[in-house]
Structure 1
Amino acid sequence: MGLKYRRVLLKLSGEALMGDREYGIDPFFISELADEIKSVYEIGAEIAIVIGGGNIFRGVKGSSMGMDRATADYMGMLATVMNALALQDILEKKEVPTRVMSAIEMRQIAEPYIRRRAIRHLEKGRIVIFAAGTGSPFFTTDTTGALRAAEIKADVLLKATKVDGIYDKDPVKHPDAKLLKEITYLEAINKDLKVMDHTALTLCMENNLPIVVFNIKKKGNIMKILLGEPIGSIVR
């Protein structure tokens, strides 16, 4: 089975882990997600994952309530560590070797992030989950995803969403919104299509890293993308 993309960075939002809940982690959804990840792992894909923390705490929301932005962002980073540990636990219950690497040192529960060690884990057949964002406030987990993907020389960045791809306007508010199957980085930036934040898009553009935006709720989508099927939207 030939893979179009072998080394992959999967960017998951914290909200994705909520499933149909309003808060926290949906055990049923995270188990299904782990099954999807395991299926592509078993055909030889090298998988790294960046997870957000919005299902537990979102830094931007905290700062909008009057909290210091840096403090709020650090709290958001800690939320991503909780999500990373939850995903690691369920992957390892399914017998998939996994390492959590944190940009903020907390040696009792995660390895410190070291680029060369992360690449070695991938080469050894381990899934690597990057936690705690970049380790610095004022950066989103989208930017973390783009940065880590560039650092590990990923073939593609998979951006998981709740919709089928990139639309010319919000498909939730506008039923006539059109799905854009392929766009350039500059189009995504100039039209402010909310694919990822501009820092992340610029990083991907500078490193010629394709971004595939797809619906994580549709089973089998990750496998189809890696096998080269035209799922979702691609930015390149």
Structure 2
Amino acid sequence: MTLSIVKFGGSAITLKDRPFTVRRKALKSMCSQVLNHVERGGKVVVVHGGGSFGHPLAMKYKLNRGLISDESYVGVALTRLAMRKLNEEVVKEFVRLGGRPYTVEPSSSFILEEGDVKEHFIEGVEEALRRGFIPVLYGDVVLDRGRRGVSILSGDAIASFLALKLKADKLIYVLDVNGIYLEDPKRVPGAKLVKFLNEDVLKRIGIAASDSDATGGLLKKIKEAFSAFRGGVKVVCFVSWRGKNLLKALDGLDFKGTMIKEA
């Protein structure tokens, strides 16, 4: 029985240029593919990003710099509230499709120090899996023992961390494009899809400015993925929700996307 950590990208489940707007078709497809795999005996932990719910607020209040003013406290509250709303949408979709989602709050599971995880309590995730649930976590603003007071813990970082700690078989990042490209496929027609990603190829990838967000953008996502791969997660890949590529990756079938491999 395999354990997979699946990260729903914020840009895949929301419209980034329209605040608080869910991409219903994409979210339904992702949840459905996860459930198809679970129904065949697989175990899955889902982590989702912030997209147009959390990122605009986090950037508006400069939460990547921590508690820098009285307004920061307002920003923390509003950003966390927005992320809960998006989490509610994800959970509701799983329920509509007959799934058994169980939200595990990141703010109660992690304490950081200068942006890095210092303490964690993930027994709730493990127990939820044992009880037959699909644990659902999300990127959030969490307490930080360092000078900042709070830090953004991205969904990408949570997914990578859980993949290592739970000794997952697979870590799958679901994107709005087919995988990792040498150039931004939304800007450059005919951009080349990278099928196998290693350290050498990583140096050649151009990270577009549009990929910058409150959590560090595409480059940070790739670095988190490499961290899990180096730590022993055998399958680390990037896929689109389209064409049932998520389900194919979960089931161990050929899929269109990008896989991390040794150089």
TM-score, with structure 2 as normaliser: 0.72
1:131 matched to 2:132:
no
Quote how far apart the aligned CAs of 1:161 are: 0.9
> Which residue of 1 is the match for residue 247 of structure 2?
223
Q: What is the match of residue 172 of structure 1? A: 186
Report if the CA contact (8 A) 1:17-1:25 is conserved.
Answer: yes
Identity of aligned residues (%): 16
SS in 1 for 2:47: strand
Q: C-alpha separation between the residues in 2 aligned to 1:208 and 1:128?
A: 22
Aligned-residue offset at 1:102: 0.6
AA at the equivalent of 1:221:
N
| AA aligned opposite 1:10 | V
Report what 1:98 is aligned to: 101
For residues 145-156 of structure 1, the aligned pairs below 5 Å read: 145-156=159-170
Aligned partner of 1:190 among 193, 203, 210: 203
After TM superposition, the structure 1 = structure 2 runs for residues 5-44 of structure 1, keeping only pairs within 5 Å, are 6-18=2-14, 22-23=18-19, 24-44=21-41
Look up the equivalent residue of 1:224 and give its one-letter code: K
Gaps of 5+ in 1: 107-112
Q: 1:90-111: CA deviations, max 9, x gaps?
A: 21233211110012149xxxxx
Amino acid at match of 2:137: F
Residues 155 and 75 from structure 1, CA distance in 2 versus in 1: closer, same or farther, beyond 3 angstroms? farther
Q: Higher helix fraction: Structure 1 or Structure 2? A: 2
Whole-angstrom CA distance in 2 between matches of 1:166 and 1:38: 25
Counterpart-to-counterpart distance in 2, 1:155 and 1:133: 25
Q: Is the 8 A contact 2:142 2:152 kept in 1?
A: no
Q: Output the CA distance in 2 between the equivalents of 1:176 and 1:28.
A: 25
CA contact (8 A) 1:53 1:77 kept: no
C-alpha displacement at 1:50, in angstroms? 0.9
Question: What is the TM-score normalised by the length of structure 1?
Answer: 0.79
* Equivalent-residue separation in structure 2 for 1:175 and 1:75 (angstroms): 38
The Cα shift of 1:214 comes to: 0.7
| Structure 2 equivalent of residue 49 of structure 1 | 46
Whole-Å Cα distance in 2 between the matches of residues 19 and 62 of structure 1?
16
> Aligned to 1:58, what secondary structure does the other structure show?
helix
Distance 1:208 1:95, change over 3 A: same
Q: Name the SS for the 1:234 alignment partner.
A: strand
